[in-house]
Amino acid sequence: MSAIRAVYASFDEVPSFKAASTHILANCRAVAGDRSVEQHHAEGRALDYELELVSLGEVRLPSFPGFRHSPVSFAEPNYLRRGERFRGHVRRLLLSRRPDLLHFRTPWEGLVAEDLGVPSIYEVNGLPSIELPYLYRDASERVLTVLQEWEQRCLAAASAIVCPSERIRQCLIRRYRIDEPSRIRVIPNGYDPVAVGPPPTVEDGLRAVYLGTLHPWQGIHWALRGVATLGDRFQLDIYGIGSRDWIKQAEKRIARYGLDQRVRLLPPLDRSRLSQALSRYHVGLAPLIKTDRNTEQGCCPVKIMDYLAHGLVTVAPDLAVVRPMIRHGENGWLYPPNCLHGLTTALEHLYDRRSQWPALRRQVLQSLRQLPTWAETGASLRQVYDSLASARR
C-alpha cells in the first residue's frame, strides 16, 4: 500500500525555543516516526505517511524516512502581510504536492484547505482573534472580527479538530458554530521521560526556573515583584523568549526591584540542553495571569510538563488549564490567580519544607504516572490521521 501524502503547515517558526515548536516536532515524530515492519504488525498499523512540515524559519531539519521539512522565511515585519505571504506559499505548495491530507494550526494556512477541498485536521492551540491584542496593542476590532470569521470557516470546513485542553474545546463550542462538537478531540501536551537524579542541595536557598516566552499573559514580569520580597531564600533563572521590548521590560523590573544578584535573564534554552539545565533547580514557575487568553481560550503549558518530567515542584495559579497537571500539595503548589501574596506564600511554604526536598521530588515523579508522554499523545494523533486516511481510500 502506498504511503499517504500529508502536509503539516504551521505559521510558526520551527525549530525554535518556543513550546509551539516542541509540540509540532512531537507531532511529526508521531505521524512519520521511523517504525519497523515488526512494530507495524504488532500494533496493527497498516498506514504509512510521507509527511512534509511547512513552517516559518530559516533552519531546515534533517530529513528521515517519511519526513521532510520545508521552511520559508519572509523579510516582512507586519504580522498581517506576513500571514498573507505564508498563505500564498502554502497554496502554491499544495497545488504542487496534491497531498491526501492537510494538518494546519492557524487560519493563515487553513483557509487554503477550504479553498482547495483538501481533507484537513485543524489543530487549535490558540486563536489569533483572542491572542492578537496581547501581542499587538494596535490590533483593530475590524481585524479581530475578520480573524474570528476565518476561524469559523476553518472549523466548519475541517474534517477533524484537535486541541490540547478541555478549556479550549469548551471555548470553541461556546464561541463558534460547530456541527457535531464530538468532532473536537482533546489531545494534551506530553513529556519525554528522562532519568532524574537527586535534587541539588538547599544550603544557599532554593533555585527556581522559568522557561518560555515573555508574553504578558505568561505573568513572569508580574511575578518578579513577588520574588523581590523573598530575600535570599530564592534564586530565579529566566530562560526567556520575546520581543526586544518585553526583554527590556524584564530588565527594568529586575533593576527596579533590586534583583540583579538573585534573578538572571538568560537566553532561551535549547531542548538538547534541557535535562542538564533543569537538574540544577528545585522549583518551576508558571505564573500565568488570569486573562481571556488563559481562561476563555485556554492552553496546555508545555513548560509545566517539562518541569514535572524533571522532578521540579511547580508553582502556578489555580486555573482550569493548570489543574489537569498540578495536584496541590503533591507535585506542585497552586495559589489564587493574580494574587501576588498567594504566589509569595506558596514559595515561602516550599522554602520552609526545604529539608523534605528529596521526598517532594519523588512525589513529583510519581505523579507522572497520571500524565501522558509525547509517545502516548502522538498515538492519539495517529488515530485521527488514520481515521481520515482510511475514509478517503
Residue 226 sits in a domain whose CATH number is: 3.40.50.2000
- Mean pLDDT in residue range 268-277: 90
Q: Do 349 and 379 reside in the same domain of the chain? A: no
Q: How far apart are CA 158 and CA 147, in angstroms?
A: 16
Claim to verify: residue 88 and residue 16 sit in the same structural domain? yes
Residue 45 forms part of a structural domain: yes
What pLDDT does 42 receive? 44
Q: Is 198 contained in some domain?
A: no
Residues 23 and 160 in one domain: yes
CB 241 within 8 A of CB 212: yes
* Same structural domain, 255 and 350: yes
Beta-bridge partners for 315 = 285, 333
User: Residue range 296-319: average pLDDT?
Assistant: 97
Average pLDDT over residues 257-273: 93
Whether residue 201 lies inside any domain: the answer is: no
Per-residue pLDDT tens digits for 139-158:
899 999 999 999 999 999 99
In the chain, how many domains are there? 2
Instruction: For residues 278 and 261, state if they share a domain.
Output: yes
Q: Name the nearest CA neighbour of 316 among 293, 341, 343.
A: 343
Q: Are residues 173 and 211 in the same domain?
A: no
Establish if 200 belongs to a structural domain.
Answer: no
Q: Band the pLDDT of 39: cuts 50, 70, 90.
A: very low
Residue 300 has pLDDT above 80, yes or no: yes
Q: Is residue 383 part of a domain?
A: yes
141: Cβ–Cβ under 8 A, 6 or more apart, which residues? Answer: none
What integer pLDDT is reported at residue 33 of this predicted model? 78
121, 99 contact by CB (below 8 A): no
pLDDT digits 0-9 by tens, 40-72: 434 555 689 999 999 999 999 999 999 999 999
On whether residue 333 sits in a domain, the answer given is: yes
Task: Note the pLDDT of residue 393.
Answer: 63
Q: What is the pTM of this model?
A: 0.94
Same domain assignment for residues 263 and 366: yes
In a domain, 260, yes or no: yes
Question: Which grid coordinates belong to 341?
Answer: 501574596
Same domain? 115 vs 256? no
Give one DSSP letter per residue of 262-322, joined into a string: TEEEEPPPPGGGHHHHHTT-SEEE-----SHIIIII----HHHHHHHHTT-EEEEE--TTT
Residue 339 within a domain? yes
Find the helix packing angle between 107-116 and 79-97, rounded to 10°: 40
| Whether 298 and 377 share a structural domain | no
The predicted structure's pLDDT at residue 128: 96
Same domain for 380 and 349: no
Whether 27 and 135 map to the same domain: the answer is yes
Q: Are residues 243 and 305 in the same domain?
A: yes
Domain that includes residue 323, residue range: 206-370
Phi, psi of 147 (to 5 degrees): -60, -40
* pLDDT surpassing 50 at residue 293: yes
